[in-house]
Amino acid sequence: MNTKKNKIPAIVIASREAMTGTVNEIVTAKLRHAEITAQMEQEIAAVQRRYQERLSGLGREIQSKEAGVQFYCEQHREAEFTEKKSIDLTLATVGFRETPYRVEKARSKDTWEEIAAGGDNYYGWEWE
Q: What is the 3-state secondary structure (H, E, C) of the chain?
A: CCCCCCCCCCCCCCCHHHHHHHHHHHHHHHHHHHHHHHHHHHHHHHHHHHHHHHHHHHHHHHHHHHHHHHHHHHHCHHHHCCCCCEEECCCCEEECCCCCCCCCCCCCCCCHHHHHHHHHHCCCCCCC
Output the pTM of the full model: 0.51
Q: Is the pLDDT of residue 78 over 70?
A: yes
Q: Are 96 and 73 in contact (CB under 8 A)?
A: yes
Q: Are 87 and 96 in contact (CB under 8 A)?
A: no
Q: Is the pLDDT of residue 94 over 60?
A: yes
Residue 25 has a pLDDT of 96
Q: Is the pLDDT of residue 123 over 60?
A: no
Look at 16 and 76; give whichever has higher pLDDT: 16
Q: Is the pLDDT of residue 77 over 70?
A: yes
pLDDT mean over 56-81: 90
The one-letter amino acid at 29 = A
Q: How many Å apart are CA 30 and CA 57, to the nearest integer?
A: 40
The one-letter amino acid at 87 = I
